């Protein structure tokens, strides 16, 4: 089962290496790893997607690392998840219209048009990227680059009942 873990860390040299090494030492394969700044310039957010049966021990080990501030394992459906994909597709001039129409349905954006290829940008949940890639495979994928997954916890919804009592 794939697990999504968000790790808030101090923005210090070597933190990424320590976190990824901790996963490797315990035999976990990292499927996706992204790191970027947060609203606080002294902190970075790491989003790690790993396979494994249980993450409780991993979460405890992450907290033991010196520069870890907070660790969150997202349960399915509790986070907004996104990825970015660039995919270059063979685009014979006779089929360009067909390819562009197919891309439009998937909300992909053409970002480069060459003599024999079109490069698309797709942003969205991992499932949308997988669907688009499958659709484009019929035309011939020439090159592919994907970002790692990023995720933020969904905002807590306020019920109408709570609003009336406020």
Of 6, 4, 156, the residue nearest 76 (C-alpha): 4
* Model confidence band, residue 1 (pLDDT cutoffs 50, 70, 90): confident
Q: Are 2 and 149 in contact (CB under 8 A)?
A: no
Decide if pLDDT at 28 tops 80: yes
**% of the chain at pLDDT higher than 70:** 94
DSSP-H helix ranges across 4-110: 15-25, 56-64, 96-105
Decide if pLDDT at 141 tops 90: yes
Which pLDDT does position 53 carry in this prediction? 82
Decide if pLDDT at 93 tops 80: yes
All domains in the chain, ordered by first residue: 2-74 (3.30.70.260), 80-151 (3.30.70.1150)
Of 152, 153, 148, the residue nearest 31 (C-alpha): 148
Q: Are 89 and 46 in contact (CB under 8 A)?
A: no
* Average pLDDT of the residues in 9-23: 93
Of 31, 32, 30, 123, the residue nearest 85 (C-alpha): 123
- Which residues 6+ apart lie within 8 Å of 129 measured at CB? 83, 85, 122, 146
Of 53, 48, 52, 54, the residue nearest 72 (C-alpha): 48
* Average pLDDT of the residues in 83-109: 95
Alpha-carbon distance of 70 to 124, in angstroms, equals 26
Which pLDDT does position 5 carry in this prediction? 95
Alpha-carbon distance of 124 to 51, in angstroms, equals 21
Weakest mean pLDDT among 10-14, 52-56, 97-101, 142-146: 52-56
Which pLDDT does position 35 carry in this prediction? 95
Which pLDDT does position 84 carry in this prediction? 97
């Amino acid at each position: 089962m794939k697990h999504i873990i968000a790790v808030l860390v101090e923005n210090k040299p070597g933190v990424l290496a320590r976190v990824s090494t901790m996963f490797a030492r315990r035999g976990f394969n990292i499927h996706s790893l992204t790191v970027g700044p947060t609203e606080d310039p002294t902190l970075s957010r790491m989003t790690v997607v790993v396979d494994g049966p249980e993450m409780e021990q991993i979460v405890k080990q992450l907290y033991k690392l010196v520069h870890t501030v907070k660790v969150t394992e997202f349960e399915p459906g509790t986070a907004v998840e996104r990825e970015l994909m660039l995919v270059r597709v063979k685009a014979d001039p006779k089929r360009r219209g067909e390819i562009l129409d197919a891309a439009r349905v998937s909300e992909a954006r053409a970002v480069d048009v060459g003599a024999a290829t079109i490069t698309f940008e797709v942003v969205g949940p991992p499932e949308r990227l997988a669907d688009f890639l499958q659709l484009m495979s019929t035309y011939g994928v020439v090159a592919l680059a994907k970002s790692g997954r990023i995720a933020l916890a969904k905002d807590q919804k306020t019920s109408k009942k709570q609003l009336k009592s406020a």
